[in-house]
């Protein structure tokens, strides 16, 4: 018979390892952590089993667990005691993200700290920018507040600024503000390709950032649009972003591949809360093999072109990798 024998390269585990095209390692992982501005709090997020809101005095335990697992990059999201119309808690020097950053740098200076740069967790209306009298988000009036937030985070010791607000011109504004403040060495990891997705629901429970009115479709991207992502990419690259996030990940693997094919900056997939919650729920019901499913999901993101993955599964993945089966 005259046909190709593709199975020759699948005959044993050693053979499969030798010809494997895509690999996942601990250095690819970024671990999100929710920090709350209250004492002695370790609240499990109901829609995200295994993920917690943590007080500063509880944060050291989570950082130690992450570090010992092999994680070397974390992203902080803050839950303040008080909120107001302009999100003051995001940019004050003693804000919760700033405190968490300083603590992390004191305890584990080897861990890279990524600071989520947005206002939604700090505004009393839950939107990512300031509002006019009719409830519309004001793009240009929001930019100076984002600059203040980024500079305050850099002053606190953040290694990477990760703006997630989706205001037009946010990368240019933040780059200029950081440079002027003496932080030209701090890179920007832009969430410039961020879709208005239903997969964010559990995150909004965890970060307490659900909009009080309306939605974010006016500034986040339409899930139906593919070419628009390339326009966002071009703008952010021109404005000075150093790395590009695609969010969410699993339903947008085609976009990750497009970004990889059309840029030479590092590409990051955000494995978002809804993706985590669905996998966890199925696993807890005994419907799937959680470890195998998670690793297959991660490989799909890497295969699509992601260099790094922001994922709530980061600690679990480190333990899976330690077993040597991947």
Tens-digit pLDDT profile for residues 157-205: 999 999 988 888 999 999 999 999 999 999 999 998 999 999 988 876 7
Residue in 83, 99, 148, 247 annotated catalytic: 247
Among the listed residues 83, 99, 148, 194, the single catalytic one is 194
| Rounded alpha-carbon distances, angstroms, from residue 128 to 64, 136, 146, 173, 176 | 31, 11, 10, 15, 20
Q: What is the arithmetic mean of pLDDT over 250-254?
A: 97
- Confidence band for 207, pLDDT divided at 50, 70 and 90: low
pLDDT at residue 120 is higher than 90: no
Q: Is 21 annotated as a binding residue?
A: no
Whether 118 has a binding-site annotation, put simply, is: yes
For the question of residue 194 being annotated catalytic, the response is yes
Q: Which residue has the tokens 């006016």?
A: 218
16 vs 267 pLDDT, higher one: 267
Rounded to two decimals, the pTM is: 0.94
Task: Please check if 241 is assigned to a binding site.
Answer: no
Q: Which domains does the chain have, with CATH numbers?
A: 22-323 (3.20.20.70)
Express each pLDDT in 261-319 by its tens digit. 999 999 999 999 999 999 999 999 999 999 999 999 999 999 999 999 999 999 999 99
The answer to the question of whether 232 is labelled as a binding residue is yes
Active site residue 280: no
Tokens 């020759």 — which residue?
Answer: 8
Nearest to 131 by CA among 58, 214, 53: 214
Q: Return the top range by mean pLDDT from 16-30, 201-215, 292-306.
A: 292-306
Number of H helices, E strands in the chain: 11, 10
Mean pLDDT across the chain, nearest whole number?
92
The predicted model gives 224-232 an average pLDDT of: 96
Residue 217's pLDDT band (cuts 50, 70, 90):
confident
Contact 271, 300 (CB under 8 A): no
Report the pLDDT value the prediction gives residue 85, as an integer from 0 to 100.
82
């Amino acid at each position: 018979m005259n046909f190709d024998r593709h199975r020759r390269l699948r005959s044993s585990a050693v053979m499969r390892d030798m010809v494997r095209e895509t690999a996942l390692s601990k250095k690819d992982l970024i671990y999100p952590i929710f920090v709350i501005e209250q004492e002695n709090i370790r609240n499990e997020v109901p829609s995200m089993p295994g993920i917690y809101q943590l007080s500063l005095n509880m944060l050291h335990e989570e950082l130690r667990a992450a570090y010992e697992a092999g994680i070397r990059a974390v992203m902080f999201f803050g839950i303040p005691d008080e909120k107001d119309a302009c999100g003051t808690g995001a940019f004050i020097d003693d804000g919760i993200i700033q405190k968490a950053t300083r603590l992390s740098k004191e305890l584990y200076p080897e861990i890279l700290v990524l600071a989520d740069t947005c206002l939604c967790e700090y505004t009393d209306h839950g939107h990512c920018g300031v509002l006019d009298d009719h409830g519309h988000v004001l793009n240009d009036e929001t930019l100076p507040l984002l600059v203040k937030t980024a500079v305050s985070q850099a002053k606190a010791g953040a290694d990477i600024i990760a703006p997630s607000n989706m205001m037009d011109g946010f990368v240019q504004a933040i780059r200029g503000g950081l440079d002027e403040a003496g932080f030209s060495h701090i890179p920007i990891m832009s969430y410039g390709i961020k879709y208005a997705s239903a997969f964010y629901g559990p995150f909004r429970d965890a970060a307490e950032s659900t909009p009080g009115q309306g939605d974010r479709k006016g500034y986040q991207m339409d899930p139906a649009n593919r070419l628009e992502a390339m326009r966002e990419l071009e703008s952010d690259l021109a404005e000075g972003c150093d790395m590009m996030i695609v969010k969410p990940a699993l339903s947008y693997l085609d976009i990750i591949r497009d970004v990889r094919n059309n840029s030479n900056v590092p590409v990051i997939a955000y494995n978002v809360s809804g993706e985590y919650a669905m996998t966890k729920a199925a696993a807890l019901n005994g419907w799937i093999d959680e470890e195998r499913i998670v690793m297959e999901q991660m490989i799909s993101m890497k295969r699509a072109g992601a260099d790094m993955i922001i994922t709530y599964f980061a600690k679990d993945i480190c333990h899976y990798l330690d077993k040597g089966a991947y």
